[in-house]
Amino acid sequence: MSTSAYRRCRREQRAWRFRHFMTDPGTYRYGATVLAASTVLSSLWLAVIR
């Protein structure tokens, strides 16, 4: 397998993974969870340092 073909294959694989990641509902659930957790933690942290 030539290097350029290998690289193209890898790029297509990465593009597919990215598309799959963007269309997966679990991704958004995870993102929302992380966002909520960071918001809660930052508000707690502000309450502590005040």
| pLDDT at residue 48 in the model | 92
What is the pTM (predicted TM-score) of this model? 0.48
- pLDDT for position 1: 63
Structure tokens at 44: 């707690």
The pLDDT, as a whole number, for residue 43 is 94
Amino acid, single-letter form, for residue 41: L
Specify the pLDDT at position 34.
94
Q: Mean pLDDT of successive 10-residue segments in the chain (50 residues)?
A: 86 89 84 94 92
> Coil, strand or helix: which one is 1?
coil
Structure tokens at 16: 């597919």
Distances (CA, A) of 48 to 3, 39, 42: 55, 14, 10
Q: How far apart are CA 47 and CA 50, in angstroms?
A: 5
Give the per-residue pLDDT at 18: 86
